[in-house]
Copies of this chain bind each other. A is one copy, B any other.
Amino acid sequence: MTLRAEILAVGSELLTPLRSDTNALYLTERLRELGVEVGSRVTVADDPALLESAFRAALARADIVIATGGLGPTEDDLTREAAAAALGRGLHRDPRLLEMLKERFRRYRREMAPVNEKQADVIEGAIVLPNPRGTAPGQRVESGERVLILLPGPPAEMEPMFQEQVGPLIGERAGGSVLRTRVLKIASMSESDVEQAVAPVYKTFTNPRTTILGGPGQVELHLTASGASGAEAEARIEALATGLRERLPGRIYGEDGRELPEVVADLLRSRGLTLALAESCTGGLLSARLTDVPGASRFLERAYVTYSNRAKAELLGVEAALLDSVGAVSAEVAAAMAAGVRRAAGSAIGVGITGIAGPDGGSPEKPVGLVFLALDGAAGTRVRQAHFPGGRERVRYQASQAALEMIRRGLLGLASW
């Protein structure tokens, strides 16, 4: 039987619109990997009655309850008291813990204020979980078949404590079944095209389960498998991934967590090739995304943002007659931009992007979202026309993504589109 967990995030600040609870997301993911299902996730204000009620409800419906936060020294830190009340147990001040707290303050040459003493309060029958990175220790309480775990709120303290002291214990309880997830990434294909291609394969598998996640310019296939061991789960994933690769030849750009700019940067670096960019409607976004990769100066010789026709002519040698006859947003000008920037930079590859990002500047013949992309290299010139949906930001992002995929396909000698 699958164990069920509940996650309790304690703190009024988590209920303001400014903050999101990253601890709950972290714990959801870790518990899933251990084969434990998260049935509910609760965020509670620093209020004694609310907190006690939340602990009571959680202990009534979950096998494992993990609470984060509210273990500090201030008046608002009520997790210990509320958990003890919900369990119907007392709290006692642990003298050894108190000594360790005082020692910690001495080490940092600070006086320990009396208010800190309550951090040494331990629920009857609880096991203390040391917190080497902070002052508030955690606690683990067994209550019949259930287990309650209190952890501090700061992720830098909570995460290693979970990893070292809580995870292994829960894994044992969950009977050793583990989950693994792999993400297959595809750029510049629509979610429905990906779905149509892969559905006949992934629908024949129940383990792994497949989730398709579509975003601007990218589709992700999340494969999640369970197994008696990590290796078994990985083998199940590989079996399905093999089938998916056959259905999407050359389309899956990554399975190792790298994003498209990193994949392209690594290809360029491993081949010792240089790149130069001429961007119009993307306004430097492609350059910014590529140079976010460390060491980008080794392959990116230069980039131009050429909004004006004058800049296109002066810097890229795009002829005025061409601009006049077909307009700046055209396949011809994209190709001339790519060739021009490659020539100016003396780079192995040149890229040109011109289009209409909106919201203004569209026309019936050249609507908002129309983008021309060109790739110029030793093997010749490739041009692609695309029409991206959405507002200015989405159009620009999809255009940069399509350009990256175009470079990747060119470098790997894959068919144009």
Give me the interface of A with B, judged by CB distance under 8 Å: 15-18, 20, 25, 28-29, 32, 37-45, 47, 49-50, 53-54, 56-57, 60-61, 211, 213, 222, 277, 279, 282-288, 290-292, 294-297, 300-308, 310-311, 315, 345, 358-361, 392-393, 396
In the complex, residue of chain B having the shortest beta-carbon distance to the beta carbon of A14: B41
Specify which of B25, B42, B295, B311 is in contact with A41 (CB 8 Å cutoff): B42
Q: A25-B17, A283-B292 are contacts. A345–B311 as well, Cβ < 8 Å? A: yes
Q: Is the CB of B284 within 8 A of A303?
A: yes
Question: Nearest chain-B residue to A274 (Cβ)?
Answer: B308
Q: Is the CB of A18 within 8 A of B53?
A: no
Q: For the complex, what is the distance from the CA of A292 to the CA of B396, rounded to whole Å?
A: 8
- Chain B residue contacts of A277, Cβ below 8 A: 305
Within the complex, the shortest CB–CB distance from A406 to chain B, in Å, comes to: 18
Decide: A284 near B288, CB < 8 A? Known: A28-B15, A40-B44. yes
Q: Is the pair B283, A300 in contact by a Cβ cutoff of 8 Å?
A: yes
Residue A287 contacts which of B28, B32, B287, B294 (CB distance < 8 angstroms)? B287
Specify which chain B residues have a CB less than 8 angstroms from the CB of A291 in the assembled complex. 282-285, 305, 307, 396
Least Cβ–Cβ distance between A138 and chain B, in angstroms: 22
Given A287-B288, A291-B305, A292-B392, do A61 and B40 touch, yes or no (CB 8 Å)?
no
Contact A304 B303 (CB under 8 A): yes
Contact across chains for B297 and A307 when beta carbons are under 8 A apart:
yes
Contact A284 B305 (CB under 8 A): yes
CA distance A37 to B15 in the complex (A): 9
Q: Determine which of B32, B53, B282, B286 lies in contact with A57 in the assembled complex, contact meaning CB atoms within 8 Å.
A: B53
Q: 18 additional contacts, CB 8 Å, given A294-B359, A301-B311, A315-B315?
A: A15-B38, A16-B28, A17-B28, A37-B45, A39-B44, A40-B43, A41-B42, A42-B43, A56-B57, A282-B291, A283-B287, A283-B300, A288-B288, A292-B392, A300-B307, A301-B307, A302-B311, A304-B304
In the complex, chain B residues whose CB is within 8 Å of the CB of A302: 304-308, 311, 315
Please measure, in the bound complex, the distance between the C-alpha atom of A60 and the C-alpha atom of B282, giving whole angstroms.
Answer: 54
| Residue contact A32 to B61, C-beta cutoff 8 Å | no
Whether A360 contacts B283 by the Cβ 8 Å rule is: no
Smallest distance from the beta carbon of A220 to chain B beta carbons, Å? 9
In the bound complex, residues from chain B placing their C-beta under 8 Å from that of A213 are: 18
A40 engages B45 (CB within 8 Å): yes
Q: Is the CB of B50 within 8 A of A40?
A: yes
27 contacts between A and B (CB under 8 A): A15-B40, A16-B28, A16-B211, A17-B28, A17-B29, A17-B32, A18-B222, A38-B45, A39-B44, A39-B45, A39-B50, A40-B45, A40-B50, A41-B42, A49-B61, A56-B57, A282-B288, A283-B287, A284-B285, A288-B288, A292-B396, A294-B358, A301-B308, A302-B304, A302-B308, A302-B315, A304-B305
Of all A-B residue pairs in the complex, the 4 with the closest CB atoms, nearest first, are A283-B291, A284-B287, A284-B284, A303-B305
**CA A310 – CA B331 in complex, angstroms?**
30
Could you tell me the distance between the alpha carbons of A134 and B311 in the complex, rounded to whole angstroms?
50
A284-B285, A284-B305 as given contacts; A47 in contact with B54, CB under 8 Å: no
Query: Which residues on the B side are within 8 Å of A305 (C-beta)?
Result: 277, 284, 287, 291, 300, 302-304
